[in-house]
Amino acid sequence: MYSSREIMRSIGIFRTEGRRAKDSGLFDALLLSLLPAAAIGADRTITEASAGLCSLTCYSGRELRGMSLEKLLDRGIPAAHAFEARLFTKDARAVRVRATMLRSGAAAVIVLQSLENEERLSSELKSSNGRLEERERYLADFREGVFRMLTDLDRSESELKGALVKLGETQMQLIQSSKMTALGELAASLAHEVSQPLTVVMGLSQGALRTIEEGTQEHRKMHLISEAAKKMEAVVKHLRVFARVEPPELKAIDLNQVVRDAFLILGEMLHSNSIEIIMEPGQVPRVLGNPNRLEQVIINLVTNARDAMPEGGALTVRTGTIEIKGSRFAELTIRDTGTGIPEGILDRIFDPFVTTKEAGKGTGLGLSITSGIIKEHRGEIRVSTDEGGTAFHIIIPAEERG
């Protein structure tokens, strides 16, 4: 409830004892006031009404001016400066109010306060107190639960250490499993280039070259056949080397050469899926790495890019050198024009078993293994995606020369 002094201060009236209410700016204050208030003349009629009173009674200011106060209240103006009454609104409602009278000579100001809001606020306060007590009980139970959880964590520390050891032992198995999955998928697109027909083609073409006179059109054609067979043989040998299990030994390698070797396998697969290959090799420093594992990274990323472009598109592969805080790094970027990665899983894309593919079309391990291989090389991998596709950025520190 507002006190008389607070109400007078809020509407800025009766600043000087004995001054007329109108001279103190009463009417202007009432018109701007949000309080339900009215100026009452000597004949107990309303001379001015605030916007708050209009809102409470549903009458306009023009309707309220000249209205007898008895028409609004179920009792007249008593001698007491504060009293409770019922206020009758234009839409025939009766609102319980507390009225405060402020007098200045023959004129007076009456300020109304709805008791319904007060009762509602009191009820809400009681309800809030009840919820607060319930919350305090919940927090007490929560603290007890956290204490039990910490105790359980301490007891399971040895089990966690054992799990980490087991995870390290199975890492090589996961990597090899991913290799074999990639090889199985790629073998279908290269089936016509392998097996015994390759040996027959190579043998016949080399034999024919020895019997055909050099410089003739037939010799040139047979030479092309022989060179194509040699290229197919290189692809097959490369697949066999890639599938072989090797210890994680690092040596100085040329990242551009790793990319070229990987695309001996990937080129045919991309072309058969109507994907344009854009190679942008740059100058790169030599890095300490394992060629087979880095090739696996490239194959995993390119295979994902192919799946993201079912209707075809463009794949850009760029290499270069960057410098970070005085240290040189070899950089590899693989960018596709595919469907992109949903924002909801972008932050978890390198977590195990997270995949954007349909059920049954991916294990969710490819990018997790890719991230692990890059970490083995003391490098970093990050991803960016937008409406134009997805790009994976890899940096590997340059070989330190003694």
Residue with the larger pLDDT of the pair 317 and 199:
317
Residue 283's pLDDT is 94
Give the per-residue pLDDT at 74: 82
Residue pointed to by tokens 């040699």: 230
At 293, which CATH number?
Answer: 3.30.565.10
Domain coverage including residue 15: 4-118
Residue 372 tokens read as: 């692990």
| 262 and 234 in a common domain | no
CA neighbours closer than 13 Å in the CB half-sphere of residue 93: 11
Mean pLDDT across 52-72: 87
- List phi, psi (to 5°) of 101: -100, 135
Q: Tens of pLDDT along 232-265? A: 766 665 555 455 545 567 899 999 999 999 898 8
Same-domain pairing of 393 and 252: yes
pLDDT in tens, 154-184: 778 777 777 777 777 677 666 655 665 565 5
- Predicted pLDDT of residue 354: 61
Q: What is the pLDDT of residues 1-27, one digit of tens each?
A: 444 444 444 444 433 333 344 434 554
Query: What total number of domains does the chain contain?
Result: 3
Could you tell me if residue 150 is inside a domain?
no
- What is the average pLDDT across 327-337? 95
Do residue 277 and residue 378 come from a single domain?
A: yes
Q: Cα(13)–Cα(29) distance, rounded to whole angstroms?
A: 8
The mean per-residue pLDDT over the stretch 222-229 comes to 83
Lowest mean pLDDT among 105-119, 162-176, 285-299, 316-330: 162-176
Are residues 267 and 388 both part of a single domain? yes
Q: Alpha-carbon torsion 216, 219, 223, 229, what sign? A: positive
CA distance 60 to 54: 6
Q: Are residues 229 and 310 in the same domain?
A: no
Look up the pTM and report it.
Answer: 0.45
Do 273 and 377 sit in the same domain of this protein? yes
Pick the residue with more confidence: 27 or 302?
A: 302
**Number of C-alpha atoms within 13 angstroms, CB side, residue 203?**
5
DSSP characters over 296-309: HHHHHHHHHHHHT-
Residue 315 placed within a domain:
yes
Measured distance CA(367)–CA(179) in Å, rounded: 13
**Whether pLDDT at 398 is above 80:** yes
pLDDT at residue 115, rounded to an integer: 82
337-382 residue pLDDT tens: 998 888 877 888 877 666 666 544 554 567 877 888 899 899 999 9
- Of 5-9, 115-119, 273-277, give the range with the top mean pLDDT: 273-277
Q: How confident is the model at residue 280 (pLDDT cuts 50, 70, 90)?
A: very high
**176 falls within a domain:** no
pLDDT band at 316 (very low <50, low <70, confident <90, very high): very high
| 47 and 19 within one domain | yes
SS3 9: helix
Average pLDDT over the chain reads 77
205 C-beta neighbours (distance < 10 Å), count: 19
Whether pLDDT at 315 is above 70: yes
pLDDT tens digits for range 67-112: 988 888 887 666 557 788 888 888 888 888 888 887 766 667 888 8
For the residues 106-135, what does the mean pLDDT come to? 78
Q: Are residues 241 and 263 in the same domain?
A: no
CB 53, CB 112: distance < 8 Å: yes
Q: What gap in Å lies between CA 319 and CA 322, rounded to an integer?
A: 10
Q: Are residues 106 and 10 part of one domain? A: yes
